[in-house]
Every structure is written in structure tokens, then in C-alpha cells.
Amino acid sequence: MARLDSRNLKGLIVAVLAAWFLWETPLVYPVRLFSTMCHESGHALAALATGGRVGSIQVAPNTAGLTTTAGGFPLAVVSGGYLGSVFFGCGIIMLASDRRFSRYVLESLGALFLVLTVCYARDSFTALYGLATGIALWKIGRTASAETEFYIAQTLGVLTASMALMDIRTLLPGAGILVGVGGAPGVTDAQQLARMTHIPATFWALLWAAISLGAVFWVLRRSLDRRAGSMEI
């Protein structure tokens, strides 16, 4: 039966390690843009879920991102980027572990990107990227083979859920200055929470990293034990 087995898990681990060590190279650039889009979408969805409004979502060519919101619960909105990415990625892993659902996961993901782009993109790069990615994901879900859909969905899920771990390096000693949208010095979500709560940014970054690790480990364990799909491999 088609399932997330140990062989598939090894492939996903290799993908995550490759992304970690090649994070600053052009090879991983599309994945970084995807992660940024998921991160900013997390802020937007957290604002909407807590009664706030979204002004805009921006994904910059340098892979920085910015989401403007009003209202909502500030702690949830600020945390929504990292934690939203983690839980969003884990949801993809869980649902797509059954190859019968991989197609619907990609189609739904593409539709979500299209809706958020149409509603909240205010610059040409974000609009072009969001529309192109949304259409591509939807098209893959409609036309690709079940195996291709499975590996694409699983890889995107794991990399998205691991984003907090990859971005934590920006808070480590010697990481340098974070570059934000437009090339100006940026402020991390952890630094924003530090200003709001007077708890050091490193604490928030490590907390998000721990949650990310725990969530990914739990989901992979669940997926490995779960019977899924009907296609023989």
C-alpha cells in the first residue's frame, strides 16, 4: 500500500538537510520564497482568526516578507508566522501521507495562494509570484502522477514546518543584520515579541524551534504508522 514508509522518510530527511546547508544558494531560492509566502500567510490568517484585518501581504525578491494587519490578538498575530508555518506544514504532511489526498492538498494549497494573492498582494512581485505558484500547485495537483504529487506535497510540508529551525540562525551570534523588505534592516518576529513581552527574543526563537521539532517528529511518527492510499509501489 502506498504510504509514508521508512524509504520515503529518508528521502524527506535528505531534502531537509540539503535545504539547511544550501539555504543561501540559488538552488533553494524557490523554496525560500515558498516558505516566506507561508510565513506571511500565517500572520494574515492569525489576524483574521482573532478578529483583525489584513492590509497587505508582501514577499520580496530577497525572500524577506511583510504583512500589515490591524486589530486581532497581537501575540497570536506575531507568532502566527513561525507557528502558522509549522502547523500548516504538519497539516500537509498528515493529509498528503495518504496518496489519495496528495492531489487535493496541492489543489487546495494552490487555491489558498491564489485567494490570498488576489485579496492582499499590493506589489507586482508578490502578485506575480503568488499567482504563478498558486496556478502551478493547482496544475500539478490536477495533472501529475500520484507519486509526483506525493513527493512534492511531502517535501513542501516538511520544509515549511521546519522553517522556524532554519530561520533561527538569524538570531544566533555572528548571524549579522537581518535584511528586510527593500534591503533595509529588518526586525524579526521574535524581536517584536521581545518588545511586547520584555522576554528575550532568543527565548521566543528557541520556543518556536522546539515546537517545530516536536510537531514534525510527532506528525512523521503518526504518518509512518498510518495506513494510507491504495496504489501499489
Distance, first Cα to last Cα, the chain: 7
With respect to residue 124, please indicate whether it lies within any of the assigned structural domains.
Answer: yes
pTM of the model: 0.83
In a domain, 233, yes or no: no
Structural domain includes residue 232 = no
Residue found by looking up cell 495562494 in the block:
113
| Cell numbers that stand for 17 in this block | 538537510
Residue 231 lies in a domain: no
Q: Which residue has the cell 494587519?
A: 69
Whether 111 maps to a domain, the answer reads yes
1: in domain: no
Domain tally, the chain: 1
Domain hosting residue 39, numbered range: 6-225
- In the chain, what is the greatest distance between 2 CA atoms, to the nearest angstrom? 54
Closest CA to 217 of 82, 38, 34, 93: 93
DSSP 47-110: HHHTT-EEEEEEE-TTS-EEEEEESS-HHHHHHHHHHHHHHHHHHHHHHHTSHHHHHHHHHHHH
Within-domain flag for 173: yes
Kindly give the confidence (pLDDT) of every residue in the chain, 233 residues in length, as a single tens digit, with 9 standing for 90 and above: 345 555 566 666 776 777 777 777 888 888 889 989 999 999 999 999 999 999 999 999 988 899 999 999 999 999 898 888 888 888 888 888 777 889 999 999 999 999 999 999 999 999 999 999 999 999 999 999 988 998 889 888 877 877 666 666 665 544 544 445 554 556 778 888 889 999 988 888 888 888 888 887 888 777 766 544 444 44
Asked if residue 220 belongs to a domain, the reply is: yes
